[in-house]
Chains A and B, each alone.
Chain A
Amino acid sequence: QQQVKQSPQSLIVQKGGISIINCAYENTAFDYFPWYQQFPGKGPALLIAIRPDVSEKKEGRFTISFNKSAKQFSLHIMDSQPGDSATYFCAASGRDDKIIFGKGTRLHILP
C-alpha cells in the first residue's frame, strides 16, 4: 500500500526556471513531511521539512507548500540551477517512527 504518491516521475526545467514536484498522502496521522535530495552514487540527504501546522516553509531557493485539507504538499525550486539536477523524494512520518517515501522524481536542469 503506497501511502505517499509523488509526481512527476521525471522533470526537465530550463536554468532559471521553477521546478515543482507534488506529493499526496493518505494517512492523516502523519505529522512530519521531509524532502530528500539524492545525487547519483550518494545516499539521500535531508533538504527541507515541514510540519502540518504551517502552510509554507522556505529555505533559500527551496519552498514547501502544504495543504492539510487536500492532504497534499509540494516542493518548489526557484531559479533552478544545473547543480539542482538530482532525484528528489518526498516523505511522511507519524508517531510510529518510520518514514514512508514517495517513489522519487528525477529532475534535470538544462544549462
Chain B
Amino acid sequence: NAGVTQTPKFQVLKTGQSMTLQCAQDMNHNSMYWYRQDPGMGLRLIYYSASEGTTDKGEVPNGYNVSRLNKREFSLRLESAAPSQTSVYFCASRPIGGQYGYTFGSGTRLTVV
C-alpha cells in the first residue's frame, strides 16, 4: 500500500520560477491537505480540499494555488517562487468524518535561491 505519494522529494528553484508539487493517495480518502513545515513553526496549513471539486484556504495561502484534479490527486503550485517559500511541504489525506487522523506523505524539501 503506497498511502500518500509526493513528488518530487527534493527541488531547488530560482526566485521567480514556477513549479507544481504533486500528491496522490490510494486510500479513497475524501479530504486532502497541503502543509508547510518550518523550524519552530510547526505544521501550517496552506490549502485543503474537503472533497473532490472543492478547495479552501488555510492559514498561509499567499503565493500558492491548488488543484484537486480528482479524488486521488491534489497538487500545489508556486507561480513565482520566493526565498520565503523555502520549506518542507507535506501532503496529507483523511477519511470523511471528523475523528480520524491524517495520513502524511514523506514530504518535498524545496529550496528557493
Residues of A within 8 A of B (CB): 6, 9, 31-32, 34, 36, 41-46, 49, 51, 89, 93-95, 97-104
Contact = CB atoms under 8 A, between A and B. Distances in A.
Nearest to B48: A98
Contact of B104 (A9, A45, A51, A94): A45
Given A43-B105, A44-B90, A44-B104, A97 B98 contact: yes
B94 A97 contact: yes
B51 to A, nearest CB: 9
A105 B44 CA distance: 15
A46 B48 contact: no
Interface of B: 4, 31, 33, 35, 40-45, 48, 50, 58, 90, 92, 94, 98-107
A101 B90 CA distance: 13
Nearest to A34: B101
A4 B35 CA distance: 16
Contacts of B99: 31-32, 49, 51
8 smallest A-B Cβ distances: which pairs? A43-B104, A46-B101, A103-B42, A101-B43, A32-B99, A34-B101, A101-B42, A43-B106
Contacts of B31: 97
Given A97-B48, A97-B50, A98-B48, A44 B43 contact: yes
Contact of B98 (A9, A43, A89, A93): A93
A51 B101 CA distance: 12
A42 B42 CA distance: 14
A22 B87 CA distance: 26
27 contacts: A31-B98, A31-B99, A32-B99, A32-B100, A41-B106, A41-B107, A43-B90, A43-B105, A44-B90, A44-B104, A46-B103, A49-B99, A51-B99, A89-B42, A89-B43, A97-B31, A97-B98, A98-B33, A98-B48, A98-B58, A99-B33, A99-B101, A101-B42, A101-B44, A102-B42, A103-B40, A103-B42
